[in-house]
Structure 1
Amino acid sequence: MRKVMQILKKIIIFLIIIIIFIQFLRAYIYNRVAPELKKWHEKSSYKEPDYKEFKTVEEYLLAENRFLKDVFSEVEVNSKDNLTRFSKNGILSSLDKDGNNINSSFEMIPENIKGGVLLLHGLTDSPFMMRDIAKIFYENGYYVLGLRYKYHGTYPGELVKVSQKDFEDAAIFGSKMIKEKLKDIKNSEFYMVGFSTGAAATLQYITSSIREDKELPKPEKVFWLSPAMGVSPAAKFGFLDSWVSLIPYFKKFQWLDINPEYDPAKYNSFPKNSGIQVYYLIKKAKINFMKLSKKEKAELPPIYSYTSLVDSTVLDKDLYDIFFKMENSENKLVIFDINRKFEEFFKPNLINLNLRDEALDLDFKFNVSFISNYNTKKDDMVGILNYYQGKFYEEKDTGLKWNESNFSLSHVSIPISPENSIYGKHSILGDLKLKGENNALYLSPNLLYRIRYNEFFEYIEEDIKNTLKKNN
């Protein structure tokens, strides 16, 4: 027995040595091929405003504004011709014409407030990504707060500091601020909207408000956009890279992507830590959800979710699984299909998908709308296949249509209007057409041709408006 234990011990030591060797080899190779780190890949010397220090939104916004100005000064590029978000007065600057940072948190206050809405953006994003959705609620009489997470909207080096708790704290702080805004308004309702990681933060929040902290304001309805209910399981092993990157020579290895920072409202570079923290946030939210009793599940608010059939950022099967387990007949899942005109270019699993068969086989207990030209294969003949209480209701003359050159939506496009000034149909990034020779750019072509706006944003707008009308 002792000999067996000695052999096992040697095998374990050998495997550990192999793992260490592989890690250092990977780090060495990455260090050689990856671009050089810029000053915006470092940590800021300024401390983020702590939500707990503020009793009103106004106090927080003033402190955040000062903070963003200080942080921006650390990495500012003086040349207006430089294609970086950090070029003051440049065409891709994060500052608008009045010198305001578009990445900051924001309020929209209608004259007569019916209720309040908290909007939580995604990982590497900023509140700017939520402005088009925010406008829908604002124009319908709702006070809107688009809140920035810590370490977002500044520069990517800050994401090395982020933790899952930062997402949770943002949801709690924002909800309490909206409760304060609505305290003197009779019959007001509170809603939450989460994009990508923001959806995971809302799931964690609503399950916590039921199971752990019953004093938290409870939303009457929740809206999800490209919800992150599942990410690659590989994210949890990112810590194995983190300890290697502590060695100064391997500093680059803490980054999954090191890219040019040309996007004014979103980071292009991605540190591994941020992926790890989102993985833990989602895991915690799902564990909380699974612990809910049948009675507690009945307390969950109706959830309206909008997602693309193809999404390279999150795992859609996890979203569908959550919806099945919620067992709420008021929930609604909206799926934007691929442009079937291009079926010959798609992978077989996408071509063969038939939602009508899927719905009948799975017997959905919630509402589903499938936005697709499945039957026509034509750009200008996009229909809606609605599944409600076991029956199909098909809408053909919808007025929805594809741009003739677009083959699908994307994860990042769902909350963005075609009229958006940065990502819209006729904007610099929305209409980006870089062309040249293969293998000349370090930047992945995937970033360059990924669609940035939602061709069917009008559907989301009308769907949200109809949902709001039901409460009036």
Structure 2
Amino acid sequence: MRKIVGVLKKIIVFLIVIIISIQFVRAYVYNKIAPELKKWHEKSSFKEPDYKKFKTIDEYLIAEKIFLDEVFKEVEIDSKDNLTRFSKSGILSSLDKEGNNINASFQMIPENIKGGVLLLHGLTDSPFMMRDTAKIFYENGYYVLGLRYKYHGTYPGELQKVSQKDFEDAAVFGSKMIKEKLKDIKNPEFYMVGFSTGAAATLQYISSSIRKDKDLLKPKKIFWLSPAMGVSPAAKFGFLDSWVSLIPTFKKFQWLDINPEYDPAKYNSFPKNSGIQVYYLIKKAKINFMKLSKKEKEELPPIYSYTSLVDSTVLDKDLYDIFFKMENPENKLVIFDVNRKFEEFFKPNVINLNLRDEALDLDFKFNVSFVSNYNTKKDDAVEVLNYSSGKFSEERNTNLKWNESNFSLSHVSIPISPNNSIYGQNSILGDLRLKGENNSLYLSPNLLYRIRYNEFFEYIENDIKEELKNSLVD
């Protein structure tokens, strides 16, 4: 027995040495080939405003503006570099014409308030990503709060500080600020909108509001945009890279991507810590959700989710799994298909996906809508295939159509209108068409051809408006 134990110990030690050696080799190679780090890849010397210190959203917005101004000055480029978010004079600056930071939290206040809406953006994003969706609610009489997470909307080095709790705290703080804002409104309605990581934060929020904190404002309905209900399992092992990257020589190894920061409202560089923390957030949200009893699940608000059939950021099977386990027939899942005109260019798993057969085989217990030109293969003949209670119905002659050169939507495009000033169809980044020789740029080709706006944003807009009308009837 002692011999066996001794052999096992030697094997374990051997494996540990192998793992450590592999990590150091990976770190050494990455350190050699990765671009040089800039000042904005460091951590800021400033502290984020503490949510707990503020009783009203107006107090917080003032403190946040001072903070964002200070942080911007710390890495501001004093030159005419037009292609960076850190140049005041640049065409892609984070500051608008009035000098306001577009990454800041925002509120929209209609004249006659029906209720409130909290919008939570995604990882590496800022509240600007939520402005197009926010307008839908504002124009229908709802007070809107688009809240910035800590360490977002500043510069990417800050994401080395972020923890999964920061996303949870933002959801709780935002709901309390809306509750305070609506205190004089009779029977106000409350909604939540979560994009990507924001969806995971809303799942954690509603599970906690049912299981633990009964004082939290409960949303009547929730809307998810490209919801992050699952990310690569490799994220759980990110801590191994983090340990190695603590050695100054391997500082670059803290980063999964090191890219130029030309996007004024979203980080292009991506530290591994942020992915790890989102993995922890999703895991915690799912655990708390699974702890809900059958009776408690009945307290969950209806959820309306909008996602692209192809999404390289999140795992769609985890989203479907959550919907199945919620067992709420009011829930609705909207899937935007790829442009079937380009079927010859797609991978087999996409080409062979028959949406009608999939729905029948899986026997969805919730509502599903497929926005697709599966039958026609034409840009201007997009149909909506609705599935409810085991039956299909098709909506033809819609106004929905593909741009002739677009082959799919993307994870980041779902909440963005084609008219968006930065990411829209005729904007600088939305219409980016760089062409040249292979291996000339250290920018990933994925960043260059990834679509930034949603061709079918009008569908989401009409869908949300319809649900708001139904809420008034209820």
Determine the C-alpha separation between the residues in 1 that align with 2:82 and 2:20: 41
- What is aligned with 1:96? 96
Amino acid at match of 1:390: G
CA contact (8 A) 1:381 1:400 kept: yes
Determine the C-alpha separation between the residues in 1 that align with 2:382 and 2:367: 19
Moved more, 405-414 or 84-93: 84-93
Determine the C-alpha separation between the residues in 2 that align with 1:249 and 1:158: 20
User: What are the within-5 Å matches in structure 2 for residues 418-457 of structure 1?
Assistant: 418-457=418-457
Aligned to 2:397, what secondary structure does the other structure show? strand
- What is aligned with 2:340? 340
Report whether the alignment pairs 1:22 with 2:22.
yes
User: What are the within-5 Å matches in structure 2 for residues 358-377 of structure 1?
Assistant: 358-377=358-377
Q: Displacement of 1:379 after TM fit?
A: 0.2
Amino acid at match of 2:92: L
- What is aligned with 2:292? 292
Determine the C-alpha separation between the residues in 2 that align with 1:471 and 1:188: 11
- What is aligned with 1:142? 142
Deviation track 1:53-75 (CA, whole Å, cap 9, x = no partner) reads: 10000000000000000000000
Report whether the alignment pairs 1:249 with 2:264.
no
User: What are the within-5 Å matches in structure 2 for residues 124-273 of structure 1?
Assistant: 124-273=124-273
Report whether the alignment pairs 1:41 with 2:48.
no
Q: Displacement of 1:358 after TM fit?
A: 1.4
Determine the C-alpha separation between the residues in 2 that align with 1:323 and 1:8: 44
CA contact (8 A) 2:82 2:89 kept: no
CA contact (8 A) 1:340 1:378 kept: yes
Determine the C-alpha separation between the residues in 1 that align with 2:471 and 2:186: 14
Determine the C-alpha separation between the residues in 2 that align with 1:174 and 1:19: 43
Amino acid at match of 2:244: V
- What is aligned with 1:463? 463
Q: Displacement of 1:316 after TM fit?
A: 0.2
Aligned to 1:386, what secondary structure does the other structure show? strand
Deviation track 1:133-171 (CA, whole Å, cap 9, x = no partner) reads: 000000000000000000000000000000000000000
Q: Displacement of 1:80 after TM fit?
A: 2.6
Deviation track 1:249-285 (CA, whole Å, cap 9, x = no partner) reads: 1000000000000000000000000000000000000
Determine the C-alpha separation between the residues in 1 that align with 2:65 and 2:153: 11
Determine the C-alpha separation between the residues in 1 that align with 2:35 and 2:266: 19
What TM-score does the superposition give when structure 1 sets the normalisation length? 0.99
Which sections of structure 1, spanning at least 5 residues, go unmatched?
Answer: none
- What is aligned with 2:414? 414
Determine the C-alpha separation between the residues in 2 that align with 1:333 and 1:4: 54
Deviation track 1:377-402 (CA, whole Å, cap 9, x = no partner) reads: 00000000011222111011011100
CA contact (8 A) 1:159 1:273 kept: yes
CA contact (8 A) 1:373 1:379 kept: yes
Count how many residue pairs are aligned between Structure 1 and Structure 2. Answer: 472
Aligned to 1:306, what secondary structure does the other structure show? strand
What TM-score does the superposition give when structure 2 sets the normalisation length? 0.99
Determine the C-alpha separation between the residues in 1 that align with 2:115 and 2:82: 43
CA contact (8 A) 1:80 1:91 kept: no
- What is aligned with 1:79? 79
- What is aligned with 1:324? 324
CA contact (8 A) 1:160 1:274 kept: yes
Determine the C-alpha separation between the residues in 2 that align with 1:342 and 1:306: 22
Aligned to 2:451, what secondary structure does the other structure show? coil
Aligned to 1:369, what secondary structure does the other structure show? strand
Amino acid at match of 1:406: N
Amino acid at match of 1:382: V
Determine the C-alpha separation between the residues in 2 that align with 1:331 and 1:386: 13
Aligned to 1:74, what secondary structure does the other structure show? helix
Deviation track 1:82-132 (CA, whole Å, cap 9, x = no partner) reads: 411101120010000000000000000000000000000000000000000
Q: Displacement of 1:7 after TM fit?
A: 1.2
Q: Displacement of 1:471 after TM fit?
A: 2.1
User: Hey, which bits of structure 1, 4+ residues long, moved more than 3 A?
Assistant: none
Report whether the alignment pairs 1:6 with 2:9.
no
Aligned to 2:396, what secondary structure does the other structure show? strand
Determine the C-alpha separation between the residues in 1 that align with 2:78 and 2:427: 24
Which sections of structure 2, spanning at least 5 residues, go unmatched?
Answer: none
CA contact (8 A) 1:108 1:143 kept: yes
Aligned to 1:419, what secondary structure does the other structure show? coil
